[in-house]
Structure 1
Amino acid sequence: MALHGKVALLTGASMGIGEAIASSLVQAGANVILFSRSEDKLRQLKDKLAVNGDTKVTYRAVDVGNYEEVDAAVKSSIQEVGHIDILINNAGLAIGAPKIFSDLNPSDIMTMNNTNINGYMFMTHSVLNHSMMNRKAGTILNITSITGLEVPPFPGEAVYHANKACQEAFTNALRNELSGTDIRVLVLRPGVVATNFHSLRVGHDKKMYDEFIEGYEPLIADDIAQGAIYMLQQPLNISVKALDIVPSAQRSINVFDRTWNERRE
């Protein structure tokens, strides 16, 4: 599917993987709607991306865990830019590690559940009802994680792991429910990516972060963005239903080849 002229709505757009995907979408000629909590970062990103006069870039400061905010922002975005052809559910966070589940603050549990589960469902519900279902066309790309399929590599991941497993189940069930339409539902699962996300998930503990990526080269946000664009550019009759993108040294979620860098010296 050629992306030129298509309208893509992207959540978690202000930094990391979201920012990289937004940039790649604009380079491909798509019109982009950016959702994130930080209006300042969104404004800066819009200014950075809007150098291409052939595309439209707009944004809304939105808490994806608040349905009223989401629905209002989706409706106003459609009025401004037009029907949404692509929804990329990318917003997400992991907090609290290395605390085990019983030691987590309930507020952290609710924050993760609200963003990682409600956020995906609220965004999808609103975009389907205001844009995709009446045309029976579109693509929904959920950015999940290999964490949803395997046991996480360190303590403190119980909630995030459960969130990602829920996203996988939601994606698969939604795909079946949308049979009889031309709406594709896809999932992209990153492995270890060197972004603020991975620093946040370990409470910005530099020692823990450095130990996690010791001996190998993690992915960067652009690697995931390239994968997303590849999935979205496939013709309508092809669905890359699920794509795992991991560092080659990450043999599974728990097994890392920590001699990877050594062999390249």
Structure 2
Amino acid sequence: MSLRGQHALLTGASMGIGESIARQLAQAGANLTLISRSEDKLATLTNNLQTQHPNLIIKYRAVDVGNFEQVDAAIESSVQEPGNIDILINNPLPHLKIADIQTMVSTNVNGLMYVTYSVLNHGMMERKAGTILNVTSVTGLEVPPFPGEAVYHSNKAAQEAFTNSLRNELVGTNIKVLALRPGVVATNFHSQRVGHDKELYDSFIEGYEPLVAKDIADAALYMLNQPANVSIKALDVVPSAQRSLNVFDREWNKR
């Protein structure tokens, strides 16, 4: 499936994995609507991408995905130009400094559902065609090895459940519902999740090479580029040394 000329809406687009996916989508010729909390970062990224790809329509909406009214208004305005949303990529990461449980749940669970509901009801369901790609995590399927991960793990498990249930509920349409599950990625987000403890984070990635944001973006593009009759329902993308969530081959780079 060619992405050229399609309209992709991407949440969590202002940094890390979201930014990398946005760059890959623009390179593939997709028009973009970028959503995140950080207006400054969104504006900088949008201007950069528009300069690199002057023939594309690239815009942003700074919203809190945990607020449905903001989400719905942003999506309603985004379908005016360049038109209906063909691809939704849910990458709902909370702001790195947020420790409050309610905010994390609102972002990762409510936000995912709000954006999906709004996109479906602003044209995708009427056309009965499109792709929804939810960026979840391998931690949605296995218990994480770190203390203090219960909320994050439960959020990701909820995203998995929502993705699988939504796929069933969209029987009778040509809407694909996909899950992309990253493993260990070298971003600030991982270091924040281990409690701002640099020593703990360094020991966690010692002996192997973690993925980078572009690896996840490449995987997303691979899933999105499949023909209409092929769905990669779920794809785990992890460092080769990550045998499971808790088992790492820390001699991997020494051979």
Which category describes the TM-score, using the shorter chain as reference length? over 0.9
TM-score (norm 2): 0.97
- 2:222 alignment partner AA: Y
Where does 1:10-49 land on structure 2 (aligned, <5 Å)? Answer: 10-49=10-49
Question: What residue is the counterpart of 2:75 in the other structure?
Answer: 74
Q: Unaligned 5+ residue runs, structure 1?
A: 97-104
Instruction: Name the amino acid aligned to 1:32.
Output: L
Aligned to 1:209: 201
- In 2, distance between residues paired with 1:208 and 1:250? 17
Secondary structure at 1:79 match in 2? coil
Aligned counterpart, 1:187: 179
Q: CA deviation at 1:183?
A: 0.5
Q: Secondary structure at the match of 1:13?
A: coil
Q: CA deviation at 1:131?
A: 1.7
- Residue 262 of structure 1 and its aligned partner are, at CA, apart by 2.4
Q: Which runs of 5+ in 2 are unaligned?
A: none
How far did 1:94 drift?
Answer: 8.7
Deviations 1:51-110 (A, max 9, x none): 2122111000011000000000000111132100000000224979xxxxxxxx9x6211
Describe the SS at the equivalent of 1:183: strand
74-83 or 17-26: bigger deviation: 74-83
What is the identity, as a one-letter code, of the residue corresponding to 1:225? A
CA distance in 2, matches of 1:197, 1:236: 33
- 1:200 paired with 2:184, answer no
Aligned-residue offset at 1:203:
3.2
Q: Choose from 126, 129, 151 the match for 1:137.
A: 129
Q: Between the two proteins, what is the percent identity of the paired residues?
A: 70
Counterparts in 2 of 1:42 and 1:94: CA distance versus 1, 3 Å = closer
Matches within 5 A, 1:61-100: 61-93=62-94
2: distance between equivalents of 1:6 and 1:129? Answer: 18
Q: Secondary structure at 1:9's aligned position in 2? A: strand
Q: 1:95 to 1:152 in 2, by over 3 A?
A: farther
SS of 1:261 mapped into structure 2: helix
One-letter code of the match for 1:80?
E
Runs of 4+ in 1 over 6 A off after TM superposition: none
Per the normalisation by structure 1, the TM-score is: 0.93
CA–CA separation in structure 2 for the residues paired with 1:200 and 1:132: 36
Find the aligned partners of 2:95 and 2:152 in 1 and give their Cα distance.
Answer: 6
Letter in 2 for 1:74: I
Letter in 1 for 2:163: T
C-alpha distance in structure 2 between counterparts of 1:55 and 1:233, whole Å: 19
- How far apart, in 2, do the equivalents of 1:94 and 1:43 lie? 17
Distance in 2, matches of 1:31 and 1:207, equals 41
| 1:201-240 Cα shifts (integer Å, max 9, x gaps) | 1233211111111111000000000000000010110000
Shift of residue 151, structure 1, vs aligned partner: 1.1
| Alpha-carbon distance in structure 2 between the residues aligned to 1:80 and 1:236 | 24
- Corresponding residue SS for 1:14: coil
Give the whole-Å Cα distance in 1 for the aligned partners of 2:82 and 2:73. 14
